[in-house]
Amino acid sequence: GTDVHLWHGKLAGVPYPLIPGHEAVGTIERIGPSPISYLNGKEIKVGDRVTFHDVTKTCFSCYYCLIAKTPTKCPNRVVYGITMDSTKFPHLIGGYSEYVYLIPGTHIIKIPDHVSFDGAISVGCALPTAIHAVTRSPMKHGLNVAVQGAGPVGLMIAILAKISGAATITSIDQAPNRLKITKRFGVTHTLNIRETDLEERKQALYEISDGHGPDIVYEATGNALAVPEGIELVREGGTYTICGQYTDSGTVEMNPHLMNRKHLDIRTVWGSETTHVY
Amino acid sequence: GTDVHLWHGKLAGVPYPLIPGHEAVGTIERIGPSPISYLNGKEIKVGDRVTFHDVTKTCFSCYYCLIAKTPTKCPNRVVYGITMDSTKFPHLIGGYSEYVYLIPGTHIIKIPDHVSFDGAISVGCALPTAIHAVTRSPMKHGLNVAVQGAGPVGLMIAILAKISGAATITSIDQAPNRLKITKRFGVTHTLNIRETDLEERKQALYEISDGHGPDIVYEATGNALAVPEGIELVREGGTYTICGQYTDSGTVEMNPHLMNRKHLDIRTVWGSETTHVY
Amino acid sequence: GTDVHLWHGKLAGVPYPLIPGHEAVGTIERIGPSPISYLNGKEIKVGDRVTFHDVTKTCFSCYYCLIAKTPTKCPNRVVYGITMDSTKFPHLIGGYSEYVYLIPGTHIIKIPDHVSFDGAISVGCALPTAIHAVTRSPMKHGLNVAVQGAGPVGLMIAILAKISGAATITSIDQAPNRLKITKRFGVTHTLNIRETDLEERKQALYEISDGHGPDIVYEATGNALAVPEGIELVREGGTYTICGQYTDSGTVEMNPHLMNRKHLDIRTVWGSETTHVY
Amino acid sequence: GTDVHLWHGKLAGVPYPLIPGHEAVGTIERIGPSPISYLNGKEIKVGDRVTFHDVTKTCFSCYYCLIAKTPTKCPNRVVYGITMDSTKFPHLIGGYSEYVYLIPGTHIIKIPDHVSFDGAISVGCALPTAIHAVTRSPMKHGLNVAVQGAGPVGLMIAILAKISGAATITSIDQAPNRLKITKRFGVTHTLNIRETDLEERKQALYEISDGHGPDIVYEATGNALAVPEGIELVREGGTYTICGQYTDSGTVEMNPHLMNRKHLDIRTVWGSETTHVY
Ligand SMILES: [Zn+2]
Ligand SMILES: [Zn+2]
Ligand SMILES: [Zn+2]
Ligand SMILES: [Zn+2]
Ligand SMILES: [Zn+2]
Ligand SMILES: [Zn+2]
Ligand SMILES: [Zn+2]
Ligand SMILES: [Zn+2]
């Protein structure tokens, strides 16, 4: 997987673990009854160090998979530890059990020898979500971007922006230690929402981007109030990509005229596909 | 201009005038001092029946024109009757004066002989806005679309959807006579917001589109409350195109989680370019 | 299926059969052991009149299906009458046998009551190929297009262009009767390659399109010489879509400088997906 | 200009001059009669070290500028040293004269203090062409790319691929010293066409890219035979971007069936816009 390699090349030697949670890494203990392969066709062997995409299965026969080309909306998907019931076969479905039974069809990814388990642990979930978000945005070299949120997904987005040649990357968060870590990964500017107000953040981003505002703003906060702020921050004609609103925290006040006047692309991003981890 | 022809082909014989307002049509009275041409290179002659794009000039040397490729955000644009001061030369800048002085560089469009002045009057403004909106959306044959608002821009969007082969087109408005007119232009379904509530409109659109909801919803109402409703109406993974929020009527309650979960493209559309009238 | 409906609406009442070949239509004789459904979730019943997509299966687990998003290049696909061996189960795999066994997973399409078997017979193959070609091109209302070849695929492309609101559609072929039929489906101009030379065809297309040449040229001929001609015919900055070169007839002389100078998008199209018939 | 900065960041300290030719750098000697500005709005001052985009002017009122959105095909463009006649005002139009008169409207770019004249000299022409080529291709992080030609444009494309996070970049040329230089800029693999045959290059690229071939191949050679080779090299479903065929060297043998079977995007690229230098 090219993303894994790239990502490793940039991350090696930094402090870990960054990303706690339901993602899982491990060593292949048993295979069978028949041989199975990685997505690149190479056979999986006992002893291989692996991780796997937490979305194991989409049906590829429903409207969302085939027609709408939005497999992350497939009603038949199976997600490890989320859509499965551990009282039923195969039981061992979460990353916290000692063994995990990987259902046939799971997309298993070999961890390169030079990447530690800690380094690989985010491949299963935060990275694919971040890749999905970046893929849905017009990211390219030379752009000015801002990322709301410096948690696992926000950090991964910032790293992908760095790898993609963004001119400036501004991380916005309230936790000084998170912001400090983003700097180690190539983020060029940080803004602490506890130390600045909206107007100051807007002004700072204008100056960082030669007076236009960021070309792309990514939302990865989980805080509903981040959304109206993101619309204020992105430049006219820019793109606002929302991927952090995974839980329902109700409505917020938004200004449709401001949205319209700024001539925006607003793209919301739900889940990830196997494409995004390969 | 192909759009004009096409549009005429579909509209001939229907009751006019549909679209009152600042758009202007007329006959060329005087030209000079040097000859001028239409965009297709043919010379403009005295006596030609013409209309013109109300956005006469973008600078093509600023950041928005050249780099961001969003000329409708150009700070230097000149719009007839909107950005010009009639106390200054050339004075005759609005469609209600008997004569209009067309500044050199105005994009003048010849009205085909078989199109009446009434038929042509919307070419200058509502049509380009509608074309801009449709161009910014993934319109193609076979889609189910809904249009919020059956005023000039909403009607033009519906007609463009018809021309583009949409499978179903649902117009949503509160004025029975407007909805009735849309039917004459090929709209397949109408919903009156005074006679239905949101849940009923949602359910009706589900049924019209085989259980998914509309692939694209266009907003052309000017009513801020239309925006949260549009997000409810569009199908998961669909596109919501907003072009009617031209004036600031404050904030409304919106649900960022719903926006995110539906995995949407939301595109806002400001103004129009000459491209859109050609 | 919206395409089927639309397509029927335009085709009803015209002379058939147009498209001989391996496509098949029929009536469901037996189902089992368990119930099966159409792609829209409705149950298939004995007595239903149906057709089916001749590409029945792509694997959705290989590089081409998941990563490259080009399922028509999947090495594991199963195509009725093409990739299957009739000496093996289920034997009845071609449209010319009296019964066809439809493998579980085949995408079966119900023929609307008002469409005849003759009208439906091209849904299985020529139409999906044509839809794939049109989907890979920037088709939209108002464009000038030309189609090289007036066989089943070329005719379907022309019809899709018509449905999509193309301003002019020029069919190019050597068979006068085929060209005559295209006119019945809305083609606006025809050019017979036996009665004109390249320069004349180029000149004719320039005039048809106000002096620029066609915005999109589609190739659906099977003749290798059509490809260098298509590059001559398409306008500068236009799109050339190649879908008819299914068999290898060797090399032809092409001019890379001409290709480069014209600043083209050349898109080649191999096979079709289930998306394209729905 | 973000590209300039980025590009400098990567290039500083390497051996120059790489790119001889008509590009020009210099110091502002006189300004007038009125003040002029850079594209970012800042005033140009006497003594500023600058370069300029060799395409100074497109008309922004013709079909190609406004409708087709392909300003590089504008028949009215003015290119320093190419479309201008030095016997007429302003005479001093080429980079080899001691002074150059910059026509009002020329897009002048300030050279950052830490970039030498030698480092800046390619900004005027090779870089914009390379940016145009990369912009027209689906470049993103993690891709395997190959570049035919290691001259100024090919090298710039390779550098942009590096900046954009390409997983592997293979330069193909016949000059060992050029290939050696590309390695200094981050190219991961090189192939000398004098030391390998087509099958060997194809095989090498397969192995470099895990068995699929390069996702994108760029042509920047000026050799017509590079084009049929590029079609052999790119992976199925990949993109071939042609920008080096600036002069007519006649026809070459190409196989339309191979082009079609590979399901390709072939994009040809003519000239550059001011966008590409900013
Ligand atoms: Zn599904
Ligand atoms: Zn997770
Ligand atoms: Zn401007
Ligand atoms: Zn208006
Ligand atoms: Zn496959
Ligand atoms: Zn067939
Ligand atoms: Zn021009
Ligand atoms: Zn040059």
C23 Cα to the center of ligand 6, angstroms: 6
d(CA A159, CA A138): 16
Task: Report the residue from B66, B273, B275 with minimal CB separation from D275.
Answer: B66
Q: Are C7 and C131 in contact (CB under 8 A)?
A: no
Q: Mutation target for B interface from D53, D57, D67: give the one with most B CBs within 10 A.
A: D67
Q: What backbone torsions phi and psi does residue B145 show, to the nearest 5 degrees?
A: -125, 155
Q: Which residue of C has its CA nearest to B3?
A: C142
Ligand closest to CA D76 = 7
Nearest in space to A130 (alpha carbons), one of B138, C63, D2, D142: D142
Locate the domains of chain C by residue range: 127-276
> What is the CATH code for D127-271?
3.40.50.720
Q: Which chains are within 8 Å of B by 3+ CB pairs?
A: A, C, D
Could you say which of C70, C243, C256 has the minimum Cβ distance to residue D237?
C70
Q: How many Cβ atoms are within 10 Å of D111's Cβ, its own excluded?
A: 22
Main-chain phi, psi angles of C126, to 5 degrees: -65, -40
Is B20 a residue whose pLDDT tops 70? no
Most D CBs within 10 Å, among B3, B56, B66, to test the D interface:
B66
| pLDDT exceeds 90 at position D48 | no
Contact assignment for A270 to B252 by CB distance below 8 Å: no
State the Cα–Cα distance between residues D197 and D203, nearest whole angstrom.
10
Nearest CA among D221, D196, D219 for reference residue D145: D219
Phi, psi of D217 (to 5 degrees): -115, 130
Residue D237: closest CA among chain C residues belongs to which residue?
C70
Nearest to B140 by CA among C126, C275, A70: C275
Query: CA-based angle C221:C222:C223, to the nearest 5?
Result: 85
- The pLDDT tens digits of the residues spanning B31-82 come to 766 666 666 667 777 777 766 655 556 676 677 777 777 877 887 776 554 4
For helices A152-163 and A126-135, the axis angle rounded to 10 degrees is 50
Least trusted range by pLDDT, from B95-99, C10-14, D61-65, D254-258: C10-14
Beta-carbon count within 10 A of A200 CB: 12
Size of interface A-D (CB pairs under 8 A): 47
CB A201 within 8 A of CB A225: no
Residue listed under structure tokens 């001011």 = D274
Give me the amino acid identity at D48: D
Measuring CA to CA, which residue among A38, C263, C58 is closest to residue D269? C263
- Cα of C206 to nearest chain D Cα, Å: 14
A274 Cα: distance to centroid of ligand 7 (angstroms): 45
Q: Radius of gyration over alpha carbons of chain D, in Å?
A: 20
Between the two ends of chain C, the Cα-to-Cα distance in Å is 5
Task: Please give the helix or strand (H or E) that residue B230 lies within, else none.
Answer: helix B226-233
Question: Radius of gyration over alpha carbons of chain A, in Å?
Answer: 20
pLDDT higher than threshold 70 for residue A226:
yes
Interchain CB contact of C258 with A (< 8 Å): no
pLDDT band at residue B233 using 50, 70 and 90 as cut-offs = very high
Span B18-28, average pLDDT: 49
* Weakest mean pLDDT among C89-103, C137-151, D264-278: C89-103
Which pLDDT score, from 0 to 100, does residue C127 have? 81
| Token pair recorded at residue D261 | 């079977």
- Starting from the CA of residue C41, give the closest ligand: 1
Task: Report ipTM for this prediction.
Answer: 0.77
- In 3-state terms, what secondary structure has residue C241? strand
Give the mean pLDDT of D237-252: 95
Q: How far is CA B205 from the centre of its chain?
A: 23
Select from B2, B139, B144 the Cβ nearest to the Cβ of C167: B2
Nearest to B243 by CA among B211, B220, B261, B223: B220
Instruction: List chain C residues with CB under 8 Å of B141.
Output: 3, 6, 160, 163-164
Per the rule left: phi > 0, alpha: psi between -120 and 50, beta: everything else, B234 is beta
pLDDT in tens, B139-167: 999 999 999 999 999 999 999 999 999 99
A169-186 tens-digit pLDDT: 999 999 999 999 999 999
Residue pair C99/C29 in contact (Cβ under 8 Å)? The answer is: yes
Q: Which residue of C has its CA nearest to A40?
A: C63
Q: What is the spatial distance between Cα B65 and Cα D171, in angstroms, rounded to a whole number?
A: 35
Those residues whose C-beta lies under 8 Å from the C-beta of residue A97, and which sit 6 or more positions away, are none
The answer to whether A147 and A220 are in contact (CB under 8 A) is yes
Please provide the average confidence, as pLDDT, over all residues in chain C: 77
Q: Do B235 and A68 touch (CB under 8 A)?
A: yes
Report the neighbours of D using a cutoff of 3 or more CB pairs below 8 angstroms. A, B, C
Question: What would the DSSP string read from start to end of chain A?
Answer: -HHHHHHHHHHTTS------SS--EEE-----SS--B-TTSPBP-TT-EEEE-SEEE--SSSIIIIIS--GGG-TT-EETTTT--TTSTT---STTSSS----TT--EEEPPTTS-HHHHTTTTTHHHHHHHHHHTTT--TT-EEEEE--SHHHHHHHHHHHHTT-SEEEEEES-HHHHHHHHHTT--EEEETTT--HHHHHHHHHHHTTTS--SEEEE-S--TTHHHHHHHHSPTT-EEEE----S----EEE-HHHHHHTT-EEEE-----GGGT-
β-partners of residue C242 are C219, C268
Per-residue pLDDT tens over the stretch C39-90:
566 777 777 776 665 555 667 777 787 777 787 788 776 655 444 444 444 4
Spatial separation of the C-alpha atoms in residues D249 and B252, rounded to whole Å: 63
Q: Encoding tokens for residue B91?
A: 């004075």
D231/C contact by beta carbon, under 8 A:
no
Q: Which amino acid is at D251?
A: T
By Cβ distance, the residue of C6, C165, C210 closest to B167 is C6
Cα(A104)–Cα(A102) distance, integer angstroms: 6
Taking the C-alpha atoms of residue B109 and residue B48, their distance in angstroms, rounded to an integer, is 10
pLDDT band per the 50, 70, 90 thresholds, residue C17: very low
Q: What is the distance in A from the centroid of ligand 7 to the CA of B38? A: 14
Contacts of B273 in chain D (CB under 8 A): 66
Model confidence pLDDT, tens digit, residues A86-119: 444 444 444 444 555 555 555 666 666 655 555 5
Q: Which of C2, C41, C164 sits opposite B164 (nearest CB)?
A: C164
pLDDT value for D201: 98
Residue B235 pLDDT > 80, yes or no? yes
Cα Rg of chain B (Å, integer): 20
H helical segments located in chain D: 2-11, 63-66, 117-120, 126-135, 152-163, 176-184, 198-208, 226-233, 256-261
Residue at token pair 């145009």: D132
> Mean pLDDT throughout A239-249?
94
Instruction: Quote the CA–CA distance of C122 and C156 in Å, as a whole number.
Output: 9
Q: Do D182 and D253 contact (CB within 8 A), yes or no?
A: no
Model pLDDT for residues D87-100, shown as the tens digit of each residue: 444 444 444 345 55
Residue of C nearest to B135 (CA): C140
Shortest CA distance from A108: residue in chain C: C61
| CB pair distance less than 8 Å for B210 and C40 | yes
Nearest to B237 by CA among A16, A132, A69, C12: A69
**Can you tell me whether residue B219 is helix, strand or coil?**
strand
Q: Are D100 and D93 in contact (CB under 8 A)?
A: yes
Is-contact A153 A147, C-beta < 8 A? no
Among B72, B125, B40, which residue's Cα sits nearest to residue D68? B40
- D7 to A26, C38, D211: CA distances (angstroms): 41, 55, 31
Interchain CB distance below 8 Å, A256 and B227: yes
**Tens digits of per-residue pLDDT, B166-217?**
999 999 999 999 999 999 999 999 999 999 999 999 999 999 998 899 999 9
Alpha-carbon radius of gyration of chain C: 20
Q: Measure Cα distances from D228 to A116, A129, B173 in Å.
A: 44, 39, 57
Q: What is the per-residue pLDDT for C73?
A: 81
Judge whether residue C166 has pLDDT over 90: yes
Token duo for residue C278:
């729905």
Asked if D262 reaches chain C (Cβ–Cβ under 8 Å), the answer is yes
Contact B231, B240 (CB under 8 A): yes
Which residue of C223, C227, C268 to mutate against D (max D Cβ within 10 Å)?
C268
CA C100-C104-C109 angle, to 5 degrees, is 70
- Report the helix count and the strand count for chain C, using DSSP H and E: 8, 12
CATH superfamily of C127-276: NAD(P)-binding Rossmann-like Domain (3.40.50.720)
Closest-CA distance of chain A to residue B276, Å:
16
| Section B213-240 average pLDDT | 97
Strand, coil or helix: D217:
strand
Tell me the two tokens of residue D128.
């914009």
Residue range A250-273: average pLDDT? 93
